[in-house]
Amino acid sequence: MMKFKELTYLGIILFAINGNAQVLPEKDSILNQMILANKYFMNKWPDPGARIVTDKARPANLWTRATYYEGLMALYYLYSDTTYYTYAVDWGESHEWNPTYGNIRTRDADHHCCGQTYIELYQLDNKPERIEPIKQCIDYIVNNNFNNDWSWIDAIHMAMPVYAKLGVVLKDTSYFNKMHKLYMFSKNQHGDSGLYNNEEHLWYRDADFDPPFTTPNGKNQYWSRGNGWVIAALARVLDVLPDTIEYRNEYITTLQEMSDTLIKLQRLDGFWNSSLVDSLDYGGKETSGTAFFTYGIAWGINNGILDEATYKPAVIKAWNGMVKHALHNNGFLGYVQGTGKQPSDGQPLSYDKAPNFEDYGLGAFLLAGSEVIKLAPGSISIPTPPAKYYSIKKEVTGSGSVSCSRDSVIKYETIQLTAVPDSSYKFSNWEGDAYGIKNPLDVKMDTNKNIIANFSIIITTVNDTNHTGSISEADISNLTVFPNPAYETINIHTDDPNEFYKYVLYNSTGVEIKVNSEYNKIDISNLQKGLYFLKVYNENNSLIKKIIKQ
């Protein structure tokens, strides 16, 4: 009979063989898994601008949420559901495209992360307001000499791709140069001798964790998600950085070194432990770090940086493991470690336990899926849902018009209406499915809309001998309005049978009053007592007279 230890070793070997023999599901299956996870989140957070409330309220362009939008954009590029795009645009607009907390001069990399999606949305629609605030923020750093901002490795992911994307969009290598200086300072100078271990090819989270710090078992502590931040950042930077930039080789080499180490540390179930080299230091499934590693390694394979035969088995095990052990039927992701800086934070993890923030884990999962799907068999055949259009009906009272780029817009898209008054009129307010006096007005199209713009005449207080318009007192000497004051009827008389006039009556605030009128009579019997203005006009002339209703 074989000994228990021998059976155990045999089981591990067989499990490893089976693990390497795994295959990826079809592309449609992977896409459905991504859509499911994202649907769960969007249903939970229908308002992309709503503040995030955990232990306290935070703005929704926080780094945790910004990481989610990186994944959402990756999903959108695969599956162009317009609701994804409008959800992202509404998120940016709700924060006026600012860094987190709105500080244009912040050097905190966490507050720059939202800029990654802002820039991508700018690339889809070149509206300057989408990148101007983040550009101002990064310009402030580029134009200063300090290079020590990224003192924790999460910062590499939060900010490094922002510099790369700005450099590409603006065709300005100064962003690449500053990015590289910040990165190399973190790698080689922070802490005692840099945060990257050039022998073990992993990163210490910050200076608190470089030697002599160790795990309780005497091993170097490398936090899974921290290293995930870095490898994801390298992939996202290399994805856009021009081939002519000399720094590419540095980033490629580091990604290769990390990947070589990581596949040796992968668990048999496809996950990586929270503490990478010490399975006894909070070992167990952890989704966010695993997803980032999957993304970075799969990106390396897809871009010819990593050997497919060597690294693809690790990607397959990781994706299949996350789908089997972490993804719920409703789209919730389990085993996501909460915010922190080390393996012990947010422990213990479980299939059903929700972290304090669910967004960044989903962002990592969507990023992973966007690269894993390229390695999967089959083709994407899931039809993109047709965009749902809503119509907008524009009406006016008074004299003016409403300008709008189009009358039919995509569901949840925000459009802008501008009320344009005619000569001698002013815009008063919106009514119907809009309200207030803001002009132009942003309208979110979440249903069909009927919007009314009210215009009122610009009233100039006049005596009977003064008037507005282009005629003089002598010109109207043949026109008589009587009686004034009046009780029931106003009569208009002109001595010239060839002059034809039209009449409009306004109340004291300039709003047009609907009244019955004939050729030379206006019925005011139903009006309240008070001051009114009568506009008498034709193609050549106009006159406003005060009328007293008694």
Q: Which helix (H) or strand (E) holds 288?
A: helix 287-302
Q: What is the pLDDT of residue 444?
A: 78
Tokens 């990604």, located at residue: 255
CB-based contact 319:270 (threshold 8 Å): yes
Q: What is the pLDDT of residue 6?
A: 40
Cα torsion through 334, 335, 336, 341, rounded to 10: 170
537 within domain boundaries: yes
419 within domain boundaries: yes
Tell me: do 169 and 269 sit in the same domain.
Answer: yes
Q: Rounded to whole angstroms, what are the CA distances from 185 to 177, 276, 398, 516? A: 13, 24, 65, 81
278 within domain boundaries: yes
Q: What is the pLDDT of residue 497?
A: 66
Tell me: do 203 and 330 sit in the same domain.
Answer: yes
Tell me: do 137 and 250 sit in the same domain.
Answer: yes
SS3 call for 239: coil
CB-based contact 276:265 (threshold 8 Å): yes
Q: Which helix (H) or strand (E) holds 532?
A: strand 530-537
101 within domain boundaries: yes
135-173 pLDDT, tens per residue? 999 999 999 999 999 999 999 999 999 999 999 999 999
Q: How many CB atoms lie within 10 A of CB 542?
A: 19
Task: Give the CATH number for residue 526.
Answer: 2.60.40.10
Q: Rounded to whole angstroms, what are the CA distances from 478 to 458, 463, 505? A: 25, 17, 20
Distance CA 509, CA 486 (A): 20
Mean pLDDT across 78-101: 95
CB-based contact 467:454 (threshold 8 Å): no
Tell me: do 216 and 276 sit in the same domain.
Answer: yes
Residue after which a domain boundary falls, among 457, 488, 512: 457
* Helix pair 82-94, 63-78: axis angle to 10 deg: 150
Confidence of residue 470 (pLDDT cuts 50, 70, 90): very low
Distance CA 295, CA 227 (A): 12
- Integer-rounded Cα Rg, in Å, for the chain is 34
Tokens 């990064």, located at residue: 138
**Amino acid letter for position 217:** N
pLDDT above 50: residue 13: no
* Active site (annotated) includes residue 154: yes
Domain count, the chain: 3
Q: What is the pLDDT of residue 459?
A: 61
Please give the share of the chain, as a percent, with pLDDT higher than 90: 68
DSSP bridge pairs for 531: 548
382 within domain boundaries: no
Owning domain of residue 410: 389-457
Distance CA 394, CA 428 (A): 15
Q: What is the pLDDT of residue 412?
A: 64
Residue 320 has what DSSP assignment?
Answer: H
Distance CA 481, CA 303 (A): 84
Report strand pairing: 449-457 vs 389-397: parallel
Task: Record the pTM.
Answer: 0.73
Mean pLDDT across 337-350: 97
Tell me: do 327 and 400 sit in the same domain.
Answer: no
Mean pLDDT across 128-133: 97
**Cis amide linkage into residue 383, ω under 30° from 0:** no
**Amino acid letter for position 167:** G
Tell me: do 195 and 292 sit in the same domain.
Answer: yes
Distance CA 128, CA 516 (A): 52
Tell me: do 406 and 526 sit in the same domain.
Answer: no
pLDDT above 60: residue 25: yes
pLDDT above 50: residue 474: no
CB-based contact 497:488 (threshold 8 Å): no
Q: What is the pLDDT of residue 408?
A: 67
Confidence of residue 3 (pLDDT cuts 50, 70, 90): very low
- Residue 14 C-alpha from the chain's centroid: 46
Q: What is the pLDDT of residue 453?
A: 92
Task: Give the CATH number for residue 168.
Answer: 1.50.10.10
- DSSP of 407-465, one letter per residue? SEEETT-EEEEEEEEPTTEEEEEEEES--BS-SSEEEE-SS-EEEEEEEEE------TT
Q: What is the pLDDT of residue 478?
A: 64
Tell me: do 16 and 79 sit in the same domain.
Answer: yes
pLDDT above 80: residue 419: yes
Please, what sign has the CA dihedral across residues 379, 380, 383, 386? negative
Q: How many CB atoms lie within 10 A of CB 36?
A: 16
Report strand pairing: 502-507 vs 512-513: antiparallel
510-522 pLDDT, tens per residue? 778 877 777 678 8
**Amino acid letter for position 120:** E
Mean pLDDT of the chain: 89
Residue after which a domain boundary falls, among 457, 486, 507: 457
Tell me: do 328 and 437 sit in the same domain.
Answer: no
CB-based contact 379:25 (threshold 8 Å): no
Closest CA to 364 of 233, 239, 262: 233
Catalytic residue among 110, 149, 154, 206: 154
Tell me: do 406 and 265 sit in the same domain.
Answer: no
Q: What is the pLDDT of residue 436?
A: 85
Report strand pairing: 414-421 vs 441-444: antiparallel
Mean pLDDT across 218-238: 98
Distance CA 291, CA 294 (A): 5
Mean pLDDT across 334-344: 97
258-277 pLDDT, tens per residue? 999 999 999 999 999 999 99
pLDDT above 60: residue 469: no
DSSP bridge pairs for 481: 492
Mean pLDDT across 113-122: 97
Residue after which a domain boundary falls, among 330, 347, 375: 375
pLDDT above 60: residue 32: yes
Tell me: do 135 and 266 sit in the same domain.
Answer: yes
Q: What is the pLDDT of residue 465?
A: 37
pLDDT above 70: residue 476: no
pLDDT above 90: residue 535: no
Tell me: do 142 and 270 sit in the same domain.
Answer: yes
pLDDT above 50: residue 4: no
380 within domain boundaries: no
522 within domain boundaries: yes
463 within domain boundaries: no
